[in-house]
Amino acid sequence: MRFVLLVLLLAVRSSQASETSKGWSDWLSEGESLSHKGNYSAAAHAFREALAIAERMQINDRRLVELHYALAVAYAEAGQFAESESEYRRALALVGKVEGQASLNYAVLLADMAILPTQTGNREEVIALLRQAIAVNERTGSIKNITVIRECLARILRSEKRYQEEEPLLQQALADLVKQKAADPALLGAAFNNLAVLRFDQERYQESVDLQLESIRVWETALGKEHPSLVAPLNNLATTYLKMARFDDADLTYQRAIEVCRRTLGEDHLEYAILLKNYAHVLRKLGHKREAKKFQAQGEQIEREVNRRNGVNSTISVTALGSDRPVSLQP
């Protein structure tokens, strides 16, 4: 985390075709249930089955878009970024053919893909397209879709340290969600988390802590205390504690984040590598240099393996994000 929000951009339920075995919509429902529980690898398997059946049945392109999108999100959450990008591009091609590149659905897909760790380099064209999508659709588009675009655009701007441009996007996204009586907890938790990261970058540390605690509360209430969505806000809370020299609080919070990540995302996930390297900072502050060296080395080994799995041309190094301090995670 993940760092990609599973927001269905198309309402695509239909009656199931009569088959003796599971149909594509059965697999789709199973995948959505597994994603909600945080079992992303199993969800990806279900979505692949759904897609294979749907393509054999030659269902319409709008439904194929949902399947490619769902699979792209599951891959991203599981840390399979190259596979995720491939599915996003297939979905984008279909939406471009059916609705055109000016559509809101195209913008949502592009926004989600743009924040994959494999996406680097000059992204001014993407920034311009996302700004245009917000301007054209903010009054008529769904709050969910506009929020996703705002949050993703803000994260792109953050990566370029354009904090003044990032802040109004995050504030508007959070304000829109808070106004809703039954806001999507995934979006609401992410909105609190992302604003907290900005406050950290602005050195407004106590505000960052308050926002992270609210993010954690939202996700725990909606998804329980062992869901992988908690990994990002727990990591970021611990990072803020570390910056505030609250080393014992940072120690305990990192330990919880590491354990949740280990049990849910696994020990071969990029977020696990980030957590281990971040935790090494705390251990050094506490004087545990030998243990810190062990965690640092383990994190770097996992990081190299993630890079290898995602291809030699994929630049997703944790070090590239800044080795001089703990790295923030995004939901």
Q: Among residues 169, 189, 263, which one has the least CA distance to residue 3?
A: 189
CB atoms within 10 A of CB 56: 9
Structure tokens at 280: 């090494």
Structure tokens at 156: 């792109």
Q: pLDDT by residue (tens digit) across 168-205?
A: 999 999 999 998 877 888 889 999 999 999 999 999 99
Q: What is the CA radius of gyration of the chain?
A: 20
Q: Contact, 174 vs 196, CB < 8 A?
A: no
CA distances for 154 relative to 203, 207, 305, angstroms: 18, 18, 29
Greatest alpha-carbon span in the chain: 65
Q: Which residues contact 61 (CB under 8 A, 6 or more apart)?
A: 94, 97, 98
Q: Contact, 234 vs 273, CB < 8 A?
A: no
Indicate the burial class of 87 (C-beta count within 10 angstroms; 0-12, 13-18, 19 or more). buried
pLDDT (0 to 100) of residue 215 = 95
Q: Which residues contact 200 (CB under 8 A, 6 or more apart)?
A: 208, 236, 239, 240, 243, 328
Q: Read off φ and ψ for residue 328, nearest 5 degrees.
A: -75, 150
Residue by residue, pLDDT tens for the chain (331 residues) are 333 344 434 333 433 333 347 899 999 999 999 998 899 999 999 999 999 999 999 888 888 999 999 999 999 999 898 899 999 999 999 999 989 988 999 999 999 999 888 887 778 999 999 999 999 998 888 889 999 999 999 999 998 889 999 999 999 999 999 988 778 888 899 999 999 999 999 999 999 999 999 999 999 999 999 999 999 999 999 999 999 999 999 999 999 999 999 999 999 998 999 999 999 999 999 999 999 999 999 999 998 888 888 764 443 333 222 233 455 555 5
Q: How far apart are CA 257 and CA 82, in angstroms?
A: 25
Q: Among residues 105, 129, 104, 328, which one has the least CA distance to residue 233?
A: 328
Return the CATH number of the domain spanning residue range 214-331: 1.25.40.10
User: Tokens 């243990």 correspond to what residue?
Assistant: 291
Domain extent listing, the chain: 214-331
Work out the angle between the directed axes of helices 270-285 and 247-264 (0-180°, nearest 10): 160
